[in-house]
Copies of this chain bind each other. A is one copy, B any other.
Amino acid sequence: MTISANPVRGTRDYLPKEMRLREAMQNIILNVYQEAGFQRIHTPILEDIERLDKSDGGENLNLIFKILKRGQKLDLTKENLTENDLADAGLRFDLTMPLSRYYANNRAELRMPFKVIQIDQVFRAERPQKGRLREFFQCDIDIIGDESSRAETELIHTTAKALKALGFTDFTVRINDRRILTGLILTAGFQPEDVGSVCITFDKLDKIGAEGVKKELLEKGYPENVVEKFAGSLLAGGISDLSAAGELCGNPEAAAGLAAIMDRAKTLAAGSYNVEYDPSLVRGMGYYTGTIFEIASPKFKSSIAGGGRYDKMIGKYLGEDIPAVGFSIGFERIFEILSESEEIPFALGKDRLALLYNAEDDFIEVIKKAEELRAEGYAVATMVKAKKLGKQFTNLEKDGFLGAHILGEEGIKIFGARE
């Protein structure tokens, strides 16, 4: 009996032609990031289970893949076993918690501001659905150790530049500040301890609409007059003016800071993308402390990039707060958009040639000829010449080969040039 060959639910295989696109995407993003002075690091996929549990990861904490203890550490005879008895590690669900741990662990070797790139896999046990994988890549840049809003400016500029290099044009950077959002929630009459819960509901505005948000808040038991006041200001989009929002929430300084970030972003965009204040922007994670931002494209229903400032996270590992802000490109969303587009606006690796030979040819001569063609800049795959050469050519062209050379004959047959 054969064993099933399907990948684990919620994960997928990538075909060579998909990998060509993914590799080109990654190279473009990485090049923009590195050119901008960011440096790549790598952290383990495995993380300590307690660390993951204490990470303010919001809803993601319910989506952690946990690793079974091994050897004598796994005691199945214990009564009333809990998951904590069974697991000692888990797979990271984002790259921000590992980065904060990394900074605390390696601080002696790092200088501030630390401008860092992470392009790596994360894991979330989400209900599988189109465009939502359990194992996927994120592309993050972060600046650690710069409390000034120049860090936000640089992240927005660099992320936008990467998106433009990927061929995206008409996107919008939406900005908010958690301090303004929190201030407006408190002004409506909610208690400080309710802010997190209100944010979780408010974050669903795109999905369930203003009425849905009101309904859920009432169901959560908040007073009707408070919910109405909240609806009147934030839900109705009444605070679309940033300085008015700053006054209303009692934090005009935060509003002025956000206005300065937006001004600089607009100047650097020079019309190539939009920058907007979005009073309803929440971002799910519990760890954001200031500016939050995301990028929306008309090509995709949800955001294609997102991030924000998290000045209190590294302190949990270091015992001392260090300012930090990050921006993450949704690699899988970009891949989904590009793999469904008619034309890819960038090159996908080297031109590929097939070197066709007869099985009885001296294979040393085959390899030597292949190396000659490789020295000319081609990627060259050797393969036995089929009896039906026309069909072989058709298949090779379908597989993305530029052309073929037949051992012992002259020149290269370019497929596109065939009559």
Contact = CB atoms under 8 A, between A and B. Distances in A.
Contact of A46 (B6, B65, B86, B264): B65
A45 interface: yes
Interface in A292-317: 315-317
A138 to B, nearest CB: 15
A104 interface: yes
B364 A34 contact: no
Contacts of A111: 395, 399
Nearest to A363: B150
Given A34-B379, A37-B382, A8 B48 contact: yes
A105 B16 contact: no
A99 to B, nearest CB: 10
> Within the oligomer, what is the number of copies of this chain?
2
A276 B115 CA distance: 48
Interface string A167-203: 0000000000000000000000000000000000000
Nearest to A71: B125
A86 B68 contact: yes
A8 B89 contact: yes
Interface in A304-361: 315-319, 349-350, 352, 354-355, 359
A359 B151 CA distance: 12
A383 B317 contact: no
Interface string A92-109: 000000000110111001
Contacts of A66: 67-68
Interface residues of A, number: 98
A389 interface: no
Interface stretch (A76-84, A239-247, A407-415): A76-84
A381 B51 CA distance: 32
A215 interface: no
B86 A317 contact: no
A2 B316 contact: yes
22 contacts: A2-B319, A3-B316, A7-B101, A7-B105, A8-B46, A13-B102, A13-B106, A14-B42, A15-B106, A19-B42, A20-B39, A22-B42, A36-B370, A36-B374, A36-B379, A37-B379, A67-B67, A68-B87, A113-B383, A150-B363, A264-B364, A268-B367
Interface of A: 2-8, 11-16, 19-20, 22-23, 34-48, 50-51, 54, 65-68, 70, 74, 76, 81-83, 86-87, 89, 91, 101-102, 104-106, 109-111, 113, 115-116, 121, 123, 125, 134-135, 148, 150, 153-154, 157, 264, 267-268, 315-319, 349-350, 352, 354-355, 359, 363-364, 366-367, 370, 374, 378-383, 395, 399
